[in-house]
Chain A
Amino acid sequence: MIGNLFNLVAIPTKSMDPELTFDVSVKKEILAFLNKTVDEENMIVESENLKQRVLTFDGQEISLEEFGGVQIGSEVFIKDNIISLIKLTEGRK
Chain B
Amino acid sequence: MTIKPNSAILARILFVEDQPDTVSGSKRLLMRYGFEVDSAHTLEEAYDKLRDKGYDYLFLDLMLPSTTQGQLLELGGLELLRDIQGGALGERNRDIKIVIVTGQNKSFCLGEVPDPKNCLMLTSKLEQHRALDAIRRDQQTRAGT
Q: Say if A and B assemble together.
A: no
Interface residues of B (CB under 8 A from A): none
Interface residues of A (CB under 8 A from B): none
